Amino acid sequence: MSSASRLRNQLAQAEERLAGADREARRLETEFTNANLQVEAFGGQRGQLALEFETVTQRVAGIAEEISQLRRLLESNVWKRRGRKTNLDLLRAEFATALGKEGSLEAVIASMGIRPNRSAGFSNPE
């Protein structure tokens, strides 16, 4: 009898282990299914994130190109401004020279005794 009782106990223990293994298998199967669903969801999210990243990358490249164009335009404007300033300086120098010549001519004319008549030119005192 004791061997039959031992066998029944072993059989009951084996059945319990088998039931536990079945429960574990079902749990793992559920986790596996959930994991697959998450992988699919993350795959979609990954694709969407890749598209968003690509869009952001393209936008950054566009902004970098715009900055580059603005820098070239700014540099061009700086060179134009320098050229205009040089031209203005030359005109100022020429104007100063003309004023100096005018002053010299007026001094020569005054030393000759000729009075300027601004409306008609010069008048001779004679």
With a pLDDT cut of 70, the percent of the chain lying above it is: 90
Split at pLDDT 50, 70, 90, the class of 94 is: very high
The two tokens of residue 17 are 């282990």
Q: In the chain, where are the structural domains located?
A: 18-112
Long-range contacts (CB closer than 8 Å, 24 or more residues apart) made by 112-119: none
The two tokens of residue 70 are 């603005």
State the first-to-last Cα distance of the chain, in angstroms, to the nearest integer: 168
Is residue 120 pLDDT above 60, yes or no?
Answer: no
Full-prediction pTM beyond 0.85?
no
Distance between CA atoms of 122 and 109, rounded to whole angstroms? 9
Interval 29-56: pLDDT, tens: 999 888 888 888 777 777 777 778 788 8
